[in-house]
Amino acid sequence: MDNNGLLSAHRTDAEAAQVRACVQRIIRSDAFRSSRRCQEFLHFIAASALKGEARLKERSIAIELFGKAVTYSTAEDSTVRVTAHEVRRRLATYYAGEGKDDPVRLVLPAGSYHPEFSMAAPVQSSPPVDASQSANQRQFPWLLILAVLIGCSVVAGAAFVILYRPHPKTALDQFWAPVAASNEPALVCLGEPAFFVARKDAHRRLLERVPSSQKRPFRIQTKPEDAPWLDLWYMPQDLVGVGDALATYRISALLTRMQKPNTIKAVGDVPFSELGRYPTILIGAFSNLWTMQTVRDFRFRFETRNGVNTIVDPSVAGSPWQPSYNDGLLIEDYALITRVADHRTNQVTVALAGVTQFGTGAAAELVTDVKQFSDLTRSLPAGWERKNLQLLIRVKVVDSSPGLPTAVRLHSW
């Protein structure tokens, strides 16, 4: 090990054993347990590094680990890059939670597939105190510190009397009060949309059918004769939507300003047992299993009808509420803001979920903006801040940017 705590390439047997134990702890952790592919990827690159092999290349990982053909092209298949990105994200989650005290740190630098291992810096012991010091020498610093503390308390008390002005709680403060009041850190649970990726030369062939001047969503017509080369792969738990990511950023930033500790996890990393242990903020609807289960028995809920994702209210004629499109572009979306308390655990769940990512982004902006939320809550009934709440909102979308939301329906109980 070098002076910076970095484990060198020439590791001792003891250091190698520590690294192997670290890898096993990470693989068994909640951050990695839900993704076998990430577990195998991490084990593969760590084993390669411990053997002292040459730095891994994307192509060699694809062939040796994922069983790709020797004709594999990194330009057409991003499996290795996507998996590496996911592993970095899960490592950050691990070291922010379960692994915060792990003596070995495993880092996968961006743009590299060669992991780096380092040991936590040892705690420096203080030099022994000379027992022969006189009583006066030992007491003087404490008398001085005590005098300084008394002086500071007097000044601080005067400053408190002069400068302190109680700030009235805003409507936004009242909305988030149950989360802030919890003794547990907040859990922000981010949805993971499933998507399909064209493999082999399918990506290139499909792009050839898109006009070069095309700037709007475009439906590519496939033909029966395309079947031999049209190779699509289902890719769960790899990417997040831009709107959901921005919503997560807004919520985490708000919680930080509230001085509320918070952890961000993807829905695949959150077991059902965690939902009742922490105040939880769910981001996304159809990409977030826990949102769908949370609201499924409430007044407003999400459903897919005739292949169209919607928000419905079974008790009201005229629903469902569904997005509107013009020439393939989304021009209107709907979102549901839900806040419900579980009296069995004394924890609260907040769900911010649009039918599409634009609705989710608008919902998150609404509940993090003091003025927007204050304007909207003027129409809410008295006592809403002490009740469970569902708020259905509509948002106009112009050039892929959501505008200010308007309230459509409210249910509180």
Question: How far is C-alpha 215 from the geometric centre of its chain's CA atoms?
Answer: 30
- What is the pLDDT, as a whole number, of residue 140? 41
- What is the pLDDT, as a whole number, of residue 12? 79
CB atoms within 10 A of CB 245: 16
DSSP state of 290: H
- What is the pLDDT, as a whole number, of residue 206? 77
Strands 301-305 and 308-312: antiparallel
- What is the pLDDT, as a whole number, of residue 200? 62
The upper half-sphere exposure of residue 410, i.e. CA atoms within 13 Å in the direction of its Cβ, equals: 16
Provide the percentage of residues in the chain whose pLDDT is more than 70: 80
Residues 124, 130, 131, 136, CA torsion sign? negative
Mean predicted confidence (pLDDT) in 369-373: 91
Residue 124 banded pLDDT, cuts 50, 70, 90: very low
Helix (H, G, I), strand (E, B) or coil at 294: helix
Range with the poorest average pLDDT among 193-202, 234-243, 353-362: 234-243
Q: Report the C-alpha gap between 186 and 349 in whole angstroms.
A: 10
pLDDT at 234 over 90: no
Mean predicted confidence (pLDDT) in 385-404: 88
Which residues neighbour 292 within 8 Å (Cβ) at sequence distance 6 or greater?
A: 285, 286, 302
- Range of 2-6, 107-111, 180-184, 222-226 with top mean pLDDT: 180-184
CB atoms within 10 A of CB 286: 18
Helix (H, G, I), strand (E, B) or coil at 188: strand
Query: Which single residue is written with the structure tokens 């053997």?
Result: 51
Mean predicted confidence (pLDDT) in 378-394: 90
Helix (H, G, I), strand (E, B) or coil at 283: strand
Q: Report the C-alpha gap between 45 and 281 in whole angstroms.
A: 34
pLDDT at 237 over 70: no
- What is the pLDDT, as a whole number, of residue 71? 83
- What is the pLDDT, as a whole number, of residue 132? 41
- What is the pLDDT, as a whole number, of residue 6? 42
pLDDT at 158 over 50: no
More confident residue, 107 or 161: 107
324-340, pLDDT tens digit by residue?
Answer: 998 778 899 999 999 99
- What is the pLDDT, as a whole number, of residue 255? 93
pLDDT at 73 over 90: no
5-59, pLDDT tens digit by residue?
Answer: 444 445 678 888 889 999 999 999 988 988 888 999 999 999 988 888 777 888 8
Strands 389-398 and 401-402: antiparallel
Mean predicted confidence (pLDDT) in 359-372: 93
258-292, pLDDT tens digit by residue?
Answer: 999 999 998 888 888 788 889 999 999 999 999 99
287-325, pLDDT tens digit by residue?
Answer: 999 999 999 999 999 999 888 999 999 887 766 899 999
- What is the pLDDT, as a whole number, of residue 182? 92
Longest dimension (CA), the chain: 95
109-119, pLDDT tens digit by residue?
Answer: 877 898 988 87
pLDDT at 70 over 60: yes
Mean predicted confidence (pLDDT) in 396-409: 85
Q: Is the pTM of this model over 0.85?
A: no
Residue 360 banded pLDDT, cuts 50, 70, 90: very high
More confident residue, 100 or 225: 100
pLDDT at 219 over 90: no
Query: Which single residue is written with the structure tokens 């060198």?
Result: 8
The answer to whether 389 and 409 have CB atoms below 8 angstroms apart is no
- What is the pLDDT, as a whole number, of residue 217? 65
Q: Report the C-alpha gap between 193 and 75 in whole angstroms.
A: 24
Helix (H, G, I), strand (E, B) or coil at 344: coil
Which segments of 227-368 does DSSP mark as H helices, in order?
242-257, 272-275, 289-295, 357-366
Residue 120 banded pLDDT, cuts 50, 70, 90: low
More confident residue, 377 or 369: 369
DSSP state of 225: G
pLDDT at 393 over 50: yes
268-273 contacts, C-beta under 8 A, 24 or more apart: 268/34, 268/35, 268/192, 268/236, 268/237, 269/30, 269/31, 269/33, 269/34, 269/90, 269/93, 270/187, 270/189, 271/30
Question: How far is C-alpha 318 from the geometric centre of its chain's CA atoms?
Answer: 35
More confident residue, 139 or 14: 14
Structure tokens at 146: 């005590």
Which residues neighbour 80 within 8 Å (Cβ) at sequence distance 6 or greater?
A: 58, 61, 62, 66, 74, 113
Q: Report the C-alpha gap between 271 and 269 in whole angstroms.
A: 6
